[in-house]
Amino acid sequence: MSFARFLTKRLLQGAFVVWGVVTIVFGLRVIAPGDPANVLLPPDVDPEVRRQVVADLGLDEPLHVQYWEFISGIPVGDLGTSLTTGTEVTARVARSIPATLELAVAATVVAVIIAIPLGVVSATNRHEAPDYGATLFSLAGISTPNFWLGVMLIIILSVQLNWFPTSQRAIGLPAVLTFLFSGELEAAGAGFVTWLWYITLPAITLGTYFTALITRLTRSGMLDELGKTYVRASRAKGLPESLVRYRHVLRNTLIPIITVVGLQLGTLIGGAVITEFVFDWPGLGQVLINSINSRDWPMVQGSLIVISVGFVVVNIVVDTLYSYVNPRVGFDG
């Protein structure tokens, strides 16, 4: 299958999933108990005012009209208006995206940088101390709830040792980049250090499960590959062990890991929601949790859609990458 056809097919599938997501998100609001107007109005309000507010929100329309209004706004970026603050949902959500993205990317980078070498060391020193260490670490890592890890990191590293700030995001990467491109190198450098200082604990919190998982997958994948005949054949033709391990075994181990990482990105984004709550990190998860608590449905819908669509897009990218690096699959997936 050609690359264009593969991509078209994958994009169509993605579009279908996005439509499903949007429909479910709309449905959630419809079946949710309680009247959105109650969020805006005191309980003892004049029925006429109340009727007016309901009409303004479009809630007196038949359901299919409401659905059409909702769904037709999405392609043009109109996700409605917040019930509590009156701000545009799109603007509010867009403002929170960089914080979540920074966190997710930082966690993934931390995870990959630590996990792959750890998995390699573990697999190539099987039944020795480094292997047991890495295995215990990955077992603990996939079994530890990240919010608790975050709380404990704050208690130990922030409160007791005072090495890191306890919460919040002092500066965003976009601001650092602005400094950089406007030539204010000193400010950019200082900004970056501050950014790093603030994001370290949240990134560790979010990345630990991922690190543990990838360590585990790298180890077991490498052990699988090491048992294959081509490894023996490579040694027989005179390849040094380092070439066998890295150029052959590790490369083949990493290919399937890409898909698992893609599938687990949902977990990562979910984890970001909680991590943001723990560290008061101003991202999409904060928006979601706050708006659920205040029953601000347009905001809930907006953040849900953005999170899910982001996940769908990342998955398409990962699938494409997987087909690209794996000659056996080609673009047939």
Between 148 and 163, whose beta carbon lies closer to other proteins? Answer: 148
Question: Quick one: which segment of 53-61, 89-97, 192-200, 230-238 binds other proteins (CB under 8 A)?
Answer: 230-238
Options 110, 222, 307, 319; binder of other proteins; rule CB under 8 A = 307
Between 7 and 309, whose beta carbon lies closer to other proteins? Answer: 309
Hey, how many other C-beta atoms are within 10 angstroms of the C-beta on 210? 26
Contact 199, 167 (CB under 8 A): no
Q: Rounded to 5, what percent of the chain is helix, strand, coil?
A: 80, 0, 20
CA pair distance 232, 139, nearest whole angstrom? 31
CA pair distance 229, 231, nearest whole angstrom? 5
- Nearest approach in angstroms of CB 16 to other proteins is 7
Binding mask 249-268 for other proteins (x = CB under 8 A): -xxx--x----x--xx-xxx
Options 12, 247, 280, 317; binder of other proteins; rule CB under 8 A = 247
Please report, as residue ranges, which positions from 67 to 106 form the binding site for other proteins (by CB under 8 A).
none
Please report, as residue ranges, which positions from 140 to 179 form the binding site for other proteins (by CB under 8 A).
140, 142-149, 151-152, 154-155, 159-160
CA pair distance 271, 233, nearest whole angstrom? 43
| Per-residue tokens: 263 | 């599938």
Non-local CB neighbours of 321 within 8 Å, separated by 6+ positions: 258
Options 65, 85, 232, 280; binder of other proteins; rule CB under 8 A = 232
Q: Is 239 in the site for other proteins (CB under 8 A)?
A: yes
Q: Is 2 in the site for other proteins (CB under 8 A)?
A: no
Q: Is 269 in the site for other proteins (CB under 8 A)?
A: yes
CA pair distance 278, 274, nearest whole angstrom? 6
Between 172 and 271, whose beta carbon lies closer to other proteins? Answer: 271
| Residue 17: half-sphere exposure toward Cβ, Cα within 13 Å | 16
Between 5 and 247, whose beta carbon lies closer to other proteins? Answer: 247
Please state whether 46 falls in left (phi above 0), alpha (psi between -120 and 50) or beta: beta
Amino acid occupying residue 56: D
Non-local CB neighbours of 218 within 8 Å, separated by 6+ positions: 115, 116, 118, 119, 120, 122, 123, 253, 254, 257
Q: Is 121 in the site for other proteins (CB under 8 A)?
A: no
Contact 192, 176 (CB under 8 A): yes
Options 295, 316, 321, 331; binder of other proteins; rule CB under 8 A = 295
- Nearest approach in angstroms of CB 37 to other proteins is 17
Residue found under tokens 């970001």:
272
CA pair distance 52, 56, nearest whole angstrom? 6
Options 7, 13, 41, 223; binder of other proteins; rule CB under 8 A = 13
Q: How many residues bind other proteins (CB under 8 A)?
A: 82
Q: Is 241 in the site for other proteins (CB under 8 A)?
A: yes
Between 131 and 178, whose beta carbon lies closer to other proteins? Answer: 131
Question: Quick one: which segment of 86-94, 113-121, 176-184, 194-202 binds other proteins (CB under 8 A)?
Answer: 113-121
